[in-house]
Structure 1
Amino acid sequence: MNLSISERKRSQDQIPAAISELQDQMIELQMSMAHLEMTVEQLNQVITRQDAHIQTLQRQLQLVYKQVENQSPEESIAPFDVIADRPPHY
């Protein structure tokens, strides 16, 4: 396949433009990847804090259950009675 001089010149001019476009795309991908890595790290920190909070709440709930189980009937909270516990403005 014999290309004319003008066709060869045109194809040679396209090579630097294509390389420049590929470099721009590579930079864009690297920036996107860096942003995603930062987002994942932030989400990981949030999940770690939430997990610690959930574990604390679970321990507190277990303590409350143990206290309720160990209470005698006299110490327990009386059930709510709608008629007896009516506010005075009724």
Structure 2
Amino acid sequence: MFPKILHEECKVTKQQNLDEQASFSAPIEDLQVRIAFLDDLVDQLNEQLIIQGQELADLKKQMRILYQRVDASDISDGIAPFDPLTNKPPHY
């Protein structure tokens, strides 16, 4: 049906197309692997950020409680709060 030359040209072009597809698929697969890795990394970092946010909030609460305890003990002991502008250390 087809002349022999056209049939051979079709084989060559099909092989070239397959070679080109193979040459494109390797970089695409590499990019897909990198994207999957980066997605996983973003998820892990997001989880760590949430944990650190909770820890920071807990530490702020603890500091607030400690400041309240120090203020309460100073008042109950009759110690006036320290004012650096009016209360200079003795070596000045």
What range is the shorter-chain TM-score in? Answer: 0.5 to 0.7
RMSD, aligned CA? 3.1
Q: Shift of residue 76 of structure 1?
A: 7.6
5+ residue gaps in structure 2?
none
Q: Give structure 1 regions of 4+ aligned residues with deviation exceeding 6 angstroms.
A: none
Q: 2:83 aligns with which of 75, 79, 82?
A: 79
How far is the alpha carbon of 1:82 from its aligned partner?
7.3
Structure 1 gaps, min length 5: none
C-alpha deviation, 1:33, in angstroms:
0.7
Aligned residues: 86
Quote the residue 2:22 is aligned against: 23
Matched letter for residue 11 of structure 2: Q
**Higher alpha-carbon deviation: 72-81 or 44-53:** 72-81
The TM-score normalised by the length of structure 2 is 0.65
TM-score of the superposed pair, with normalisation by structure 1: 0.66
Q: Which residue of 2 aligns with 1:59?
A: 58
CA distance in 1, matches of 2:29, 2:88: 70
More helix by share: 2
Q: Percent identity?
A: 5
